[in-house]
Structure 1
Amino acid sequence: MQAQTYQDASRTLLAQGFAELNQGDTRQASEKGWGATAQMLKCIAEQRGWEHKGHRLIRRVASRLADETGDAEIRRLYRVADSLHINFYEDVDTVEDVAAGLEDIGRFLDKLDPLAHTINQT
């Protein structure tokens, strides 16, 4: 099942992000945080039959979930992940910024995890 693979990868990537951060590599840590988010959103999209290939569609999945649940924090936490993705290219965030971002991504995955188990064809 592809959805389970995405879900498992999300947690693995987050752990790798913290490991990269502990080694001082903020760029790779940032990208792992983004990847963890993207993988969990792909999991949910796959289960719901939503398109999820590409950055714009991943953003749309987050927006649809925020609308579906009425939880505006989903949008905010998605923006944290997007900011981490930008940091991979720009390398401007401090270690503290990336650490806070990864902590937020952990909370985001915790918030999304139950949605990965709820099939809703909206």
Structure 2
Amino acid sequence: MASSGMIKFTVVLTCLAVIASHAEAAVSCTGVLNSVAPCIVYLNGDGIGPIPPTCCAGARSVELQTRTTPNRQAACRCLKPILNSFPNPSAVSTIAPKCGVNLSFKITPSMDCAAIH
């Protein structure tokens, strides 16, 4: 018969595996939008001037959240509808490069979320 310690260890490992698989399974719009919220001041200023450090931190967070194709597509679907609400929607595409963040997709008002891989 298995020891009680071994059973507990197996249960903990199983729980961690389930949690990890769910953590990578999908990006939430709330998480993406909260990450980019510090960029609103920059975007409302036509994308002119320095980018706030908190905006760069948000861009890095989006990079971490979008490591899989489904997550990149989900983030795109979250971001695309709000881009045209800014005076210069194309300024959003300048954030990642200015922050030294390497997103694997370019955020633009004309992006095709289904085509992102």
Tell me whether the two structures share a fold, i.e. TM-score over 0.5: no
Higher relative contact order (CA 8 A, sep 6+): 1
When you count helix as a share of all residues, which structure comes out higher? 1
TM-score with structure 2 setting the length: 0.31
TM-score with structure 1 setting the length: 0.30
Larger radius of gyration: 2
